[in-house]
Amino acid sequence: MNQMIQLLSLSRAIGVMVWGRADELVGRLEDAVARVLEPGDERFPPLTGLVVRVGGLRGHQVFVPWESVRVLSPERVSLASSRLDLRPFARRDGELLVAHDVLDRQVVDVAGRRVVRVNDVQLAPDPRSPGGWRVAAADVSLGSFVARVVPKAFADAVLRRLPPSAIPWDQVEFFASDVPGVKLRVEHSALARMHPVDIAALIEDLSYRQGEEVLEALDDPTAADVVEYLPSQLQSAVLTTLSDERAGDILDEMEPDDAADILAELPEEEAQGLLEAMEPDEAADVSRLLDFAPDTAGGLMTTDFVALPEGLTVRQAVDRLREAETLPDVIPYVYTVDAAGGVESARSTSTAITELPGAHDGATAEAGGRRGRLTGMVTLRDLLLARPDQALAELINRDVLSVSADEPARSAAETLAEYDLIVLPVVDGAGRVLGVITVDDAMDVLLPAESKPRLPRILR
């Protein structure tokens, strides 16, 4: 028999009479219990039994194991035995009460990349277990909702006019946080495979508790990307639902300027707690940015850039880039400074920072004892195509536009746009490079707020 013909609407079965082996009335069906504990259970959770109310309205719920169920239909439930364990039902870890926990709840339709409300749950025979049943699909149609609230005599007519729309359960992500106090195996592996932009859009439609559950299921780099794509007013709210340790791990992976923007929105005590949870090097970069007013070029810039002393050869410059422990994902330009030292990058370790030629601020300068003025820039293409023994100074473009750290952010962004730049260096009063403003950050300032979620990330 075709399995689709055997689909059973759980909502229509809830409340039907339960009859024993001798056709005596036992009680009423109140729910179905599914197992979500073992690997693979979350794809199509198998039913382990039913919850039946015995003793009328003043009675109590009991558990009927699936082995004792002979017939389950929208008209009746028949048991294979008249003997029941009359102890009150107590849910255990790994047990999903399908009607109670899923109906009227928000879930994620992975294929449709949307948050939907479950109006009914479809059950079907389990091909892996003869005689077994499993959760097969979530029905999100309006007809299924209306069919639940009208008298049962009219339900079929409603469904003919408003046919069901079911999502296979292996394309549904439900939330363990909706079932507090019970351990359920929900790994959100399908969500984790989605693009961070899509995950962020989903989190906007979820509760804080559900959003926290999603972020907890992601690896740190993916979670950081997701948070960066969230609207600014939601970023700090979502991060503060996490433990300081987890939030610190995510902030470590974020662009320093984005992390600083989030922390700037928090009360000082909370921001300090998250800074302390971050890795010292990443926290130091973020702390430097927090010293600048958010509406200035210093508040808009990122410390994720690369600078080299101009007195190197091409071979030496490339070697230093290779030896750097961390570098920005995209390097549009390598800046040059007028001092000897190592590679300057926001992703360097604290040891490397003490050797930097163009320290980001006074604190770094004190550690290294050297600071360098911005003297020019070299494209990565020119650097790679040059002769190894060629002097880096011969490749330098010294006509470099820069802005001061205290210039208004909008003015700096307009300068970047006017001159059609990809990045714009930010310097202190002595011309020492502090960071760069990227075209992404400039667009954040120049474009309307409603356009920002749709912006591409060009340099990150």
Burial 239-248 (b: 16+ CB within 10 A, else e): bbbbebebbb
pLDDT band, residue 349 (cuts 50/70/90):
very low
pLDDT band, residue 371 (cuts 50/70/90):
low
Rounded percentage of the chain residues whose pLDDT exceeds 70: 89
Q: Is 42 exposed, middle or buried (0-12, 13-18, 19+ CB in 10 A)?
A: buried
pLDDT tens-place string over residues 38-86? 888 889 999 999 999 998 878 899 999 999 999 999 899 999 988 889 9
Helix (H) and strand (E) counts in the chain:
20, 20
Q: What is the DSSP letter of 308?
A: E
**Residue 234 Cα distances to 206, 237, 266, angstroms:** 11, 5, 12
N- to C-terminal Cα separation, the chain: 54
pLDDT tens-place string over residues 399-450? 999 999 999 999 999 999 999 999 999 999 999 999 999 998 898 888 765 5
- Domains present along the chain, CATH in parentheses: 3-170 (2.30.30.240), 188-290 (1.25.60.10), 307-454 (3.10.580.10)
Rounded CA-CA distance 374/250 in Å is 32
Rounded CA-CA distance 297/438 in Å is 11
Residue-averaged pLDDT of the chain: 86
pLDDT tens-place string over residues 144-178? 888 787 777 777 777 778 887 899 999 999 999 98
Q: Which residues pair with 25 in a beta bridge?
A: 19
Q: What does the pLDDT read at residue 38?
A: 87
